[in-house]
Structure 1
Amino acid sequence: MFTDVNVLVIGAGQAGLAASHELTDASIEHVVLERDRVGSAWAHRWDSFCLVTPNHTTLLPGGAYQGDEPDGFFSREQMVAFLGDYAASFGAPVEEGVEVESLTASDGGFTATTSSGVLRARRVVVCTGAYQRELLPPFTSELQRTLPVVGSTLYRSPEAVPGNRVLVVGGGQTACQIADELQRAGREVTLAAGRAPAMPRRIGERDIFDWLWDAGFFEQTLADMPGPMVRFAANPTVTGAHGGRDLSLRTLQADGVQLMGRLQGVEDGRLVVADDLSETVAGADDMFRQISGLATRVAEERGWSVPDLPTLSSEPLTAAPTPSLNELDAVIIACGYRPDYGWIDVSHLVDVMGFPMHRDGVSVRVDGLYFLGMPWMRTRKSPLLMGVGVDAEHLVRQLAA
């Protein structure tokens, strides 16, 4: 275990490894500490988890995808193996099984208290993921008094969920994918839908991510957005499971999932549900059409044949009756995540939303502290496998200077 290091990188996911690759290329001495193992954040997803981005959009520096399934979608095991191979390809100095418990700025550098002892570093690059803490609504404890409640971070498979009738709470990618899997496993599923946009899996012969890339969608910055709350906005619903296909509130209801409005709470032993399903679906449909329209714009700008766009039914979706608690056998909570940097002892480190205050990943609160892989760090693609490498190159150039 190192006791003194020039640069400490915390986390060995795609961001930490991309940083390590660039530090290695720049001949900057460093160590990467990982509390579990390389790529462990992916390893802890549910059993059938697949990425929603096609394999060919994996663009880590010195580690772009070169396999024979460029249009496929990594399973969790494949993703972990890919990152392990990537780390080995340049000899990333990763110390696995070492958790950084606290980080303090001191004496012109940093002191990291770890599960293996104390380490001093001149500079630190924090690569602990886009979000670190699962968001559980206030009514979760009330549900737990009556039913088994499983957070999305603990969900593994339908076989591990007791009973037949399951309520899934949330409307983003994770909630819709879990609801879809449970329904396909023969469960009776009700989804309390939150707000999330929808998009088609493919337009013409191309994946939607290729159209979005060509449209400049992933180059958008936080300044291009209506406000900073976009950092908590749900990603468009889609899935890479079963070869990749459309997944939305409309496809879920067509397949037998019962839908209802947003779950607001529990009162006197009953669920309190908002009457907002039609509004939620309308918002998702609107984004589906807007994203589809980008393909027309790209094709026209490049002189390609304009593809046939997918169509959406105009029929309103019918909200299912609200189940009583005694009709349910289990609840899955999939309401997203929030940042958590409380282990870093730096005054006024984060903004009111909990994100570190920075300029292109460089902390504005203390010299020598950097962040990588955060949502909207530089652009929309910053936390993604297609974008974190570009940010790593930019960040290490600043660090080296």
Structure 2
Amino acid sequence: MMQLAQFGPEYGLNGLTVGQLLSPVVRFACNPLVSGADCGHDIHLRDPGRHGVRLHGHLDAADDGDFLFSDDLPERLGQVGATLYQRMKPMFDSYIAATGMPAPEPPRKEDWLPSEPARLNLEAANLTSVLCAAGYRLDFSILDIPVLDEWNYPRHHRGVTENRACTPSGCRG
């Protein structure tokens, strides 16, 4: 990954531009997690769990020290890994072919699965600290103007929508 980013342009290999993406949704897909430490390596989302960190899905509810998490973390972890590999493999293959370098071993199969319960009582688990990694999801439902495309993303060119009759106080026509 690091070599492709650093030396790819020398071989005519560049990342996709926004115009080459199939839909705006792809712009917000997960990016590969890599580190430059120790000559570079991938960072695997399951590694903290392998080393004793309790991993849970997203927090659905909290009430007086009881946390309720979604139970779909194994599926989400698998989806992230598969999506990244599918998205990046064509670029990796092109770089290998262009440079003539030997192909590395395929990525290791991620077989570790979290086994934490969906309900967690902080006191019973003797937990005094919680690390919360909050993600986000785009939501344009607050827009009450006709500027969304077929994917429900705002249609625009460099931040300017095509509906110029709209102002902060509303739309005309």
**TM-score, normalised by the number of residues in structure 2:** 0.60
Q: Check 1:215–1:266 CA distance in 2 against 1; reply closer, same or farther (3 A cut).
A: farther
Offset, 1:308 = 0.9
Task: Quote how far apart the aligned CAs of 1:280 are.
Answer: 1.7
Whichever structure has more strand as a proportion of its residues is 1
1:212 and 1:263 map into 2 onto residues whose CA distance is 40
Partner deviation per Cα, 1:180-234 (whole Å, 9 max, x = no partner) = xxxxxxxxxxxxxxxxxxxxx54xxx1x534776554322537513xx4445444
SS in 1 for 2:16: helix
AA aligned to 2:34 is: V
Q: How far apart are the structure 1 equivalents of 2:101 and 2:135? A: 40
Give, in angstroms, the shift of residue 240 of structure 1.
5.2
Distance 1:261 1:252, change over 3 A: same
Partner of 2:134: 334
Distance in 1 between residues matched to 2:137 and 2:74, nearest whole Å: 25
Superposed counterparts of 1:269-308, under 5 Å: 269-290=65-86, 291-292=88-89, 294-300=91-97, 302=98, 304-308=100-104
Please name the residue that 1:138 is paired with: none
The answer on whether the counterparts of 2:13 and 2:91 sit within 8 Å (CA) in structure 1 is yes
Change over 3 Å in CA distance of 1:350–1:334 after alignment to 2: farther
Give deviations 1:109-161, integer Å, cap 9, x for gaps.
xxxxxxxxxxxxxxxxxxxxxxxxxxxxxxxxxxxxxxxxxxxxxxxxxxxxx
Whole-Å separation in 2 of the counterparts to 1:293 and 1:275: 32
Distance 1:295 1:247, change over 3 A: same
1:326-377 per-position Cα deviation (integer Å, ceiling 9, x unaligned)? 334344342137589x9xxxx948648996542354442339xxxxxxxxxx
What is the alpha-carbon distance in structure 1 between the residues aligned to residue 158 and residue 147 of structure 2? 15
Is residue 45 of structure 2 the alignment partner of residue 249 of structure 1? yes
Letter of the structure 1 residue corresponding to residue 60 of structure 2: Q
Mapped partners of 2:15, 2:56: distance in 1: 31
Report matched runs for 1:160-239 at 5 Å.
Answer: 202=2, 206=3, 208-210=4-6, 215-221=13-19, 224-225=22-23, 228-239=24-35
Distance 1:288 1:232, change over 3 A: closer
Q: Is the counterpart of residue 366 in structure 1 residue 154 in structure 2?
A: no
* Mapped partners of 1:239, 1:337: distance in 2: 25
Residues of 2 paired with 1:309 and 1:320: CA distance?
Answer: 31
Structure 2 distance, partners of 1:337, 1:243, is 33
Per the TM alignment, residue 270 of structure 1 is displaced from its structure 2 partner at its CA by: 2.2
Could you say what secondary structure the match of 1:323 adopts? Answer: strand
Q: Deviations over 1:39-92 (max 9, x none)?
A: xxxxxxxxxxxxxxxxxxxxxxxxxxxxxxxxxxxxxxxxxxxxxxxxxxxxxx
1:295, 1:307 within 8 Å by CA — same for their partners in 2? no
Q: Do the aligned partners of residues 217 and 319 (structure 1) sit closer, same or farther apart at CA in structure 2, a change above 3 Å counting?
A: farther
User: Secondary structure of the residue that 2:55 maps to in structure 1?
Assistant: strand
What residue identity is the alignment partner of 1:264?
D
Contact 2:45–2:77 at 8 Å: present in 1 too? yes
Q: SS at the partner of 1:283?
A: helix
Out of 310, 319, 332, the residue aligned to residue 115 of structure 2 is: 319
Q: Distance in 2 between matches of 1:296 and 1:230?
A: 20
Partner of 1:217: helix, strand, or coil? coil
Instruction: Give percent identity, aligned residues only.
Output: 23
Q: Is the 8 A contact 1:259 1:318 kept in 2?
A: yes
Q: Tell me: CA distance 1:215–1:256, structure 2 relative to 1, closer, same or farther (3 Å).
A: farther
Give, in whole Å, the separation in 2 of the partners of 1:211 and 1:258: 38
Q: In the TM superposition, what is the alpha-carbon distance from 1:315 to its structure 2 partner?
A: 2.1
Instruction: Kindly indicate whether structure 1 or structure 2 has the higher relative contact order, using CA contacts under 8 Å at least 6 residues apart.
Output: 1
**Alignment root-mean-square deviation, CA:** 4.1
Q: Is the 8 A contact 1:357 1:365 kept in 2?
A: no
Q: Is the 8 A contact 1:211 1:294 kept in 2?
A: no
